[in-house]
């Protein structure tokens, strides 16, 4: 399963999760470790994070096809 950003939480929940200082790879993991509930919702496949040169090329290619 791919997870997209942004992840959304009530500010008080997120602050408390960070304050507790647990280890986690992202905000969702911290909230879960703090006893919070994380709900997964359907995302959009075209909403991809661009972190590598290949990701940027994918974005450029798809931007051209959308015009």
Sequence ranges of the domains in the chain:
11-66
Decide if pLDDT at 1 tops 70.
Answer: no
Mean pLDDT, residues 26-53: 90
Radius of gyration of the chain (CA): 16
What pLDDT was estimated at residue 35?
94
Statement: the pTM of the whole predicted model exceeds 0.75: no
pLDDT band at 9 (very low <50, low <70, confident <90, very high): very high
Rounded to an integer, what distance in angstroms lies between the CA atom of residue 22 and that of residue 34? 8
């Amino acid at each position: 399963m791919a997870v997209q950003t942004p992840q959304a939480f009530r500010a008080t929940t997120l602050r408390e999760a960070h304050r507790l200082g647990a280890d986690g790879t992202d905000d969702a993991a911290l909230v879960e470790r703090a006893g919070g509930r994380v709900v997964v919702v359907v995302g959009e496949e075209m909403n991809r994070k661009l972190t590598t040169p290949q990701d940027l090329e994918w974005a450029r290619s798809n931007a051209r096809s959308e015009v």
